[in-house]
Amino acid sequence: MKIIVQKFGGTSVINEERRGLAIDKIEAAIEKHLNPVVVVSAIGRSGDPYATDTLINLAKSTGIEPNTRELDILMSCGEIISAVVLSNTLKARGYKSSVFTGGQAGIITDNNFSDARILRVNPQKILEALENGEIPVITGFQGITENGDITTLGRGGSDVTASIMGEALSAELVEIYTDVDGVMTADPKIVPDAKVMDTIFYNEVFQMTEYGAKVLHHKAVEIAMRSNIPIVIRNTTSDYNGTLITNYHRTRSYIDENTRIITSVANINNRIQVKITPRKDDYDNHELIFDSIANVGVSIDMINIYPNQIFFIIDEKDKKKLEDVLEKLRFKYELLENCTKVTLIGNRMRGVPGVMAKAVAALAKENIEILQTSDSHTTISCLIESKYTNRAVNGLHGYFELGK
């Protein structure tokens, strides 16, 4: 049995017209002799009647903040509504279909409510439905604990549901349907000539998600990478081929395979640069600083350590927690707020000299000061002031000719 997992995001099921288009995609898979397993997000986005944020705001309107366990019960409702409606739409087209919650689909998680970790998947009920000629429609974003409590998988968790079900079912392919034509070389809201990529490697998409691109949940990429199941990002409203995420596929070419070393530009805003000057007797005791910061749950990035100074960046939401730690330790520090981390991503830059020099030249051409840098085999990141974000992303995108 050849199985395809098809995930439809909130905008893909928002109204009768979009749901009809989603059914068209399911029918297209059936015509290719594939057995579809469907995963859905909650209908619409914030402000729409059944969107997850709408449900959360409804609960908070009582004046009482729901605890995390009860919040997960509430947040699971959006996907349940969406699954039942889409399943009924399939039945109206003459198909047999059954709805499954994440727990009923066999997704077992820990009890870290609102950001649960999947422990294992038992897809037996889904396989039985397929054998019975049914199209299973699974609620994304959720699972169940060993004790029977409903859990949610964190923002973007429906992508994770699709990917983990693809792995559990040994699917041929996972299709993620959304409102864009595929993965783009940069944020099209910033870069007008951003281009949809034909094919991209798993690790490049993973880097994009880590560095601010709202492409796909990073856990979904991790799962697909380890199981080597291809993912295609497609638009519900068009027949565009979309972007294939894989390590290799003989039917698609990689963009300018022989020459292009940069795949995309990503950016993540709301960063704060931190400069710490430790006391003289603490120069060799950096462990104290980093352990203290980690113990209050603050994640740090772009770490540079010098003999008498330490630089790193944090998310602006962690500012108060960081300040409390540093005040308690009595370290001298400075904060530079309103920063953006801009990152070049490319699987082929590994071992290629001069890429950093070109990045620096591109930003210098735009008269943008680089506050800090970091790099890996496949990424180069530059920290800049946020007011220059659009110029920086467009400048790098143009310099490396990603729109051509």
Report yes or no on 251 lying in a domain.
Answer: no
Domains: count for the chain = 2
358 is in an annotated binding site: no
pLDDT at 101: 97
Do 282 and 141 reside in the same domain of the chain? no
Q: What is the pLDDT of residues 56-86, one digit of tens each?
A: 888 888 888 889 999 999 999 999 999 999 9
Percent of the chain with pLDDT over 90: 73
236 φ/ψ angles, rounded to the nearest 5 degrees: -60, -30
What pLDDT is stored for residue 55 in this prediction?
86
Say yes or no: 175 and 290 in one domain: no
Which pLDDT score, from 0 to 100, does residue 210 have?
84
Residue 282, pLDDT > 60, answer: no
* 59 and 175 housed in the same domain: yes
Q: What confidence tens digit (pLDDT) does each residue in 100-146 have?
A: 999 999 999 999 999 999 999 999 999 999 999 999 999 999 999 99
Query: Considering 146, 179, 212, which residue would you say is the last residue of a domain?
Result: 179
Does residue 91 carry a pLDDT above 90? yes
Confidence of residue 256 (pLDDT cuts 50, 70, 90): very low
Q: What is the CATH number of the domain that holds 359?
A: 3.30.2130.10
CATH code (residue 77): 3.40.1160.10
Which of 179, 203, 232 corresponds to the end of one domain?
A: 179
Q: What is the mean pLDDT of residues 235-251?
A: 82
* Final residue belonging to a domain, choices 158, 179, 200: 179
Q: Which residue has the higher pLDDT, 358 or 308?
A: 358
Across all residues in the chain, what is the average pLDDT? 91
**How far apart are alpha carbons 180 and 11 in whole angstroms?**
10
225 in a structural domain? no
Indicate if 284 and 163 belong to the same structural domain: no
Question: Does residue 340 have a pLDDT over 50?
Answer: yes
Inside any domain, residue 206:
no
Tell me if 352 is assigned to a ligand binding site: no
214 labeled part of a ligand binding site: yes
201 carries a ligand binding annotation? no
| Predicted pLDDT of residue 72 | 93
pLDDT tens, 386-397?
999 999 999 999
| 18 & 141 share domain | yes
- Does residue 143 contact residue 108 with C-beta atoms inside 8 Å? yes
Same domain for 269 and 144: no
SS3 call for 240:
coil
Range(s) of the domain holding residue 32: 3-179
243 belongs to a structural domain: no
378 assigned to some structural domain: yes
Whether 250 has a pLDDT exceeding 60, the answer reads no
Written in H, E and C, the secondary structure of 30-72 is HHCCCEEEEEECCCCCCCCCCCHHHHHHHHHCCCCCCCHHHHH
Give the rounded percent of residues in the chain with a pLDDT score beyond 70: 95
Question: Looking at residues 308-335, what average pLDDT do you find?
Answer: 92
Higher pLDDT, 286 or 345: 345
274 and 175, same structural domain?
no
Domain annotation covers residue 164: yes
The answer on whether 7 is annotated among ligand-binding residues is yes
The separation between the first and the last C-alpha atoms of the chain, rounded to the nearest angstrom, is: 41
Q: Is residue 277 part of a domain?
A: yes
Check whether 215 is labelled as a binding-site residue. Answer: yes
Tell me, what's the pLDDT at 284? Answer: 57
Tell me what pLDDT residue 251 has. Answer: 54
Residues 33 and 170 in one domain: yes
Q: Is the pLDDT of residue 254 over 50?
A: no
Say whether both 280 and 395 belong to one domain: yes
pLDDT at 59: 86
Report if residue 83 sits inside a domain.
yes
Please say whether the beta carbons of 333 and 276 come within 8 A.
yes
One domain, residues 172 and 318: no
